Structure 1
Amino acid sequence: MHELPLVFFTVFGQSAVGLLLLTLISDRCGLTEQPLLKRASLLAFGLMGIGLLIGTLHVGQPLRAMNMLSGLGRSPMSNEILLSGAFFGLLCCTVFFTSVKKNTGLANIFNGVTILVGLAFAWSITQVYQLETVDNWNTVHTSLQMWLTVLIGGGACAVLVGARRAGGVLLLIGGIISLIAKPDYLGLVNQISPQLASAQNLFWSVQIFCLSLAVLIGAIALIKKQSCGSILFCGAVAVVIGELAGRIAFYNLWAVAM
């Protein structure tokens, strides 16, 4: 699958944004007993770094990658590339001031700016795939799926770093919304491209199972205060895998309308 690098780039990037946002909310609302910024920024750094690294495999000629910025402002893809780089650069600064040269004030400032740029980056991803020439993507479900990954992937990662209540709430909300929207989405793409859609049943089955698991993990994270650590860890990882499976199906639906 030629678009597989983009699967990891988008899902990991969106999850990193959601993780930082949820960690900030959890900290500001006093939902955690200890500061989680260091752990959250390190995990987000790892996710985004891996996503960017794998994403470069999609570039046919890496030495000409800078040419993709030539449409800055008018090209959604150019905007996405710039914002992804800005997000990662600011995230590096956050990691530096939380883990290397510790400075709480600067760490909080960079974290806030990183989240704002990260949200802009997440928005830019939705704009790349709103294509009138691709009927399966030219639907409200495209943006909905992308933003739900911010909630679901970010919620799963938040649970991993210790922001259990904030992560649990978002896993519940995101998982339920995604499950409710799924029948309408599947009906739509099966109507547009029945042959392409039927080939994605395995990926969608995996995603639906993992979304159901997300709801369960969210409930456990909210109900259980200390126990079930290993269950939450395995469940959170499975939730991210489910988002990857759903994104593979999404890219496999690419077909130019005639």
Structure 2
Amino acid sequence: MEAAFAEMPLALFSTLAPMGAGAFVILAAAFLTAKLDAEALGRIDRLTAIPVAFVIVGFIAAFFHLASPANAFGVFAGLGSSPLSNEIAAGVVFCVVMVVYWAWALTGKMPEGVRKGLAVVLAVLALVFALFTGMAYMIDTIASWNTLAGPVQILGYALVGGAALGVLVLALAGCADELKAGSLKTAVLAVLVVGLVCGIGGLAAQAMAANGLENALYSGADMVSSALMVIVAGVVCLVASGVCDVFAVRGGGASAVVGMGVGAAVLAVAGILLMRLAFYAMQVSVGLSMLL
């Protein structure tokens, strides 16, 4: 696990940025299904600062992984052929649309149709960004990462973490009644379930794959064993986050819903970060005569 902590900047990036992006899936669902007046929309727009901050802080964390900030411009050199370049490009596109949407929404002059359209576009871009983030780890020289389980994990984290942040934004905006309404409640629960299945299932699939790998220096089975408690703790936090979301959408007093939203967001951050660290801990390279 010591090697995993060396990847903390990337662990924070792949935790926070997809979470913030995923929140726009829930916001899009709210705009499409809930009846929100101008005051409620204004509160939601101001509180959208929360997922925006998650995305920005995530990208800032990623810069600390670079030996020199100037190297950031080099990641675009392989656009189209490099998974890392494609990831950053997808992230930049998402961020540009996110900032345009948010700045326009804050003016209070965004037409309803445009709001719904841009929200859907942002939701789709968020999922694309999450998938490309996971695909950046599909490296030929690291056999334990070179699997579709990676993108599936990040997609799951974006959905379950985004559900937590989205519920928090709506709860803080005073939309507890809208959250428990049929269509939006169903949408939140669907996103949550898919996120949990993809996030937990993806990491489990990667652990099983890594368990059967070894090279002259490291055994995948030993790496999985050393990360097992971290994985268990991450799963517990992630499931607990989902439970908080379920209680939030079931309704209750405004303060209780906000409390559940805060709990869901905190637990989601903790759970996803632990699972990302476990991912980095299960790194089995191809070199030195790896045996299957």
Q: TM-score range by the shorter chain?
A: 0.7 to 0.9
Match of 1:208 among 231, 235, 249: 235
Give the C-alpha shift of residue 78 in structure 1.
0.9
Whole-angstrom CA distance in 1 between matches of 2:284 and 2:17: 25
What is the aligned counterpart of 2:271 among 242, 249, 253?
242
- Alignment partner of 1:190 out of 211, 214, 225: 211
Q: CA deviation at 1:171?
A: 2.3
Q: Map 1:148-167 to 2 at 5 A.
A: 148-162=156-170, 164=179, 165=185, 166-167=187-188
Supply the distance in 1 between the matched residues of 2:98 and 2:204 (Cα, whole angstroms). Answer: 37
Q: Is the 8 A contact 1:171 1:214 kept in 2?
A: no
d(CA) in 1 for partners of 2:12 and 2:200? 22
Corresponding residue for 1:98?
105
Taking structure 2 as the reference length, the TM-score comes to: 0.78
1:143 to 151, 156, 159: 151
The two structures have a TM-score, normalised by structure 1, of 0.87
Note the alpha carbon deviations across 1:73-100, whole angstroms, 9 max, x for none.
Answer: 111111111221222222222221122x
Post-superposition, which runs of at least 4 consecutive aligned residues in structure 1 deviate over 6 A? none
| Higher mean C-alpha displacement, 156-165 vs 44-53 | 156-165
Q: In the aligned structure 2, how far is the partner of 1:17 from the partner of 1:231?
A: 20
Q: How many residues align?
A: 257
CA distance in 2, matches of 1:110, 1:28: 11
Question: Unaligned regions of 5+ residues in structure 1, if any?
Answer: none
State the partner residue of 2:281: 252
- Quick check: 1:65 aligned with 2:72? yes
> Which residue is equivalent to 1:219?
246
Cα deviation per residue 1:97-137 (whole Å; 9 max; x = unaligned)?
122x3321365565444434333322211221122322221
Report the counterpart of residue 195 of structure 2 in structure 1: 174
Please say which structure displays the higher CA radius of gyration: 2
User: Which residue identity is paired with 2:110?
Assistant: T
Query: Structure 2: which 5+ runs fail to align?
Result: 172-178, 180-184, 214-219, 288-292
Query: Is the contact made by 2:15 and 2:273 (CA closer than 8 Å) also made in structure 1?
Result: yes
2:95 corresponds to which letter in structure 1? F
Larger mean CA deviation between 5-14 and 166-175 belongs to 166-175
Structure 1 range deviating more: 128-137 or 41-50:
128-137
- Between the aligned partners of 2:97 and 2:193, the Cα distance in structure 1 is 30
Between 233-242 and 166-175, the greater mean CA deviation after superposition: 166-175
SS at the partner of 2:212? helix
Q: CA deviation at 1:28?
A: 0.3
Change (3 A) 1:32 1:218: farther
In 2, are the aligned partners of 1:83 and 1:120 still within 8 Å (CA)?
Answer: yes
CA contact (8 A) 2:143 2:285 kept: yes
Mapped to 1, the partners of 2:236 and 2:11 lie a distance apart of: 19
Change beyond 3 A, Cα 1:59–1:190: same
1:47 Cα deviation after fit: 0.5
How far, CA to CA, are the matches of 1:176 and 1:155 in structure 2? 14
The Cα RMSD (Å) is 2.5
Change (3 A) 1:83 1:183: closer
CA distance in structure 2 between the aligned counterparts of 1:31 and 1:206, rounded to whole angstroms: 38
Alpha-carbon distance in structure 2 between the residues aligned to 1:17 and 1:236: 14
State, as a whole percentage, how many aligned pairs show the same letter. 21
